[in-house]
Structure 1
Amino acid sequence: MIKEIIKKTPIVRSVARAIMAMTVEQRRKNFDSGRYWESRYRKGENSGPGSYSRLAAYKAEFLNDFVKRHDIQSVIEFGCGDGAQLQLLKFPDYIGIDVSLTVLDQTIKMFAGDTSKRFMLLQDYDGSQADLSMSLDVIYHLVEDQVFEAHMRQLFEAAKSFVIIYSSNIDDRSVSAHVRNRKFTDWVATNTDAELVLHDANPYPFSVSDPDETSPADFFVFKVREATVATKASTTTVIRR
């Protein structure tokens, strides 16, 4: 009954949204995205619907085609997650970085014996670079400004040629404590000289009626200019079990 009143009354609906937004901000004050994901993986949960089903298939087709067409020889991913998406990707050389030791233990076991793949904790990232640097379904989970800033800088500094981001690109803080949509292209325009060369719209745009098979994220491909990328050491701290 209350829900119906809210839906049918514009003023009440606006007030309800404002209260919800305030509640989210209060919960977000002490939120730690790294701790959230470590806790989530420890509970046995996965990286989310974006790494499975038709969304994962769409992302894999796009990325595999891009890597092949542009002769990409090395890839580094910030936020590699549980390895479900990675199982569909065909890269010559890959470094996966994540904030969660629990999930890295899982992916290391999953790809044991595959010498083309290496993994490391975010805190151990040493500035290694690759032809392509990626961030898939990560940015809108970085609710803390300083974490978002660090992620973006590492992402672009790690790229020799291209950066690919798969994310939403709107400003919206009201979704939940662990989701904050950002118009990240504004940050790119202000802080880098990278050129947006492709925006590929997701064929399954988000729908509240089907949240597990749809997504607000699109692909954004940036070409990195050599002058904007600092030379980094090529050594890598690799986690092995």
Structure 2
Amino acid sequence: MAQFKAQFLNRFVSAEGITSVIELGCGDGAQLALAEYPLYIGADISRAALDICRRAFDEDLTKCFLAYNLAQEIGKQELALSLDVIFHLVEDGIFERYMRDLFAAASRFVIIYSSDYEDLGASTHVRHRRFTRWAKAEAPDWQLIQHQKNPYAEKLDCQNTSFSDFFVYKHIPTRRNGR
């Protein structure tokens, strides 16, 4: 699955000529090791995750890592990523803030890799949400332009499958006040 995600993202970045990427919830950097991004900023709430990433990519000057609360301070990047994060946001307020932060962090595209249905997960740290409904209502300048189904869709073998798909949003400003 990591290869599938990397291939999708690397192709997209190359095809769209993306020069800057920010990931909200970068985790331990395992997925990032397969990425081919010209400039990358990883943000996370976990100091431990940030320390792991900083050590792993210490020599790579195209990558930097910072505390999540500082992400808004650096300005918009062309592409904002959310990979395997949304279904871990079990509290409504945190989900709302994260979604607003995610779309505010991007100037051209937002890519989300997550489930998109309403359901309580099998554990207390999983809550599936229909985030596409939120995006349609709360981010009107963003249009869903692609939904890439995961070829490793969730089955009984949960070790090698995922309930997540890719959702690609493009910034398309809406006309306001008749202009």
Shared fold, TM over 0.5: yes
Number of positions where the alignment pairs a residue of Structure 1 with one of Structure 2: 173
Q: Which one has the bigger strand percentage? A: 2
Q: Distance in 2 between matches of 1:63 and 1:57?
A: 10
Displacement after TM superposition at 1:124 (Å):
2.3
Closer/same/farther in 2, CA of residues 212 and 174 from structure 1, 3 Å limit: closer
Structure with higher RCO (Cα < 8 A, 6+ apart): 1
Which of 204, 209, 234 lines up with 2:152 in the alignment?
Answer: 204
Displacement after TM superposition at 1:126 (Å):
2.9
The answer (yes or no) to whether the contact 1:160–1:226 under 8 Å persists in 2 is: no
Alignment partner of 1:84: what SS? Answer: coil
Q: Does 1:163 align with 2:128?
A: no
Displacement after TM superposition at 1:225 (Å):
2.5
Q: Does 1:113 align with 2:59?
A: yes
Q: Distance in 2 between matches of 1:206 and 1:98?
A: 26
Q: Deviations over 1:207-231 (max 9, x none)?
A: 13x2121000000000012569xxx
Q: Does 1:191 align with 2:138?
A: yes
**Structure 2 portions without partners, runs of 5+:** none
Which residue number corresponds to residue 137 of structure 1?
84
The answer (yes or no) to whether the contact 2:72–2:101 under 8 Å persists in 1 is: no
What amino acid does structure 2 have at the position aligned with 1:90? E
Name which one, 1 or 2, has greater alpha-carbon Rg: 1
Q: Deviations over 1:152-174 (max 9, x none)?
A: 00110111000000000000024
Alignment map for 1:8-157 (pairs within 5 Å)? 55-127=1-73, 128-157=75-104
Q: Distance in 2 between matches of 1:75 and 1:148?
A: 21
**Structure 1 portions without partners, runs of 5+:** 1-54, 229-241
How large is the Cα RMSD of the aligned pairs?
1.3
Q: Distance in 2 between matches of 1:97 and 1:227?
A: 29
Q: Which one has the bigger helix percentage? A: 1
Q: Distance in 2 between matches of 1:117 and 1:153?
A: 24
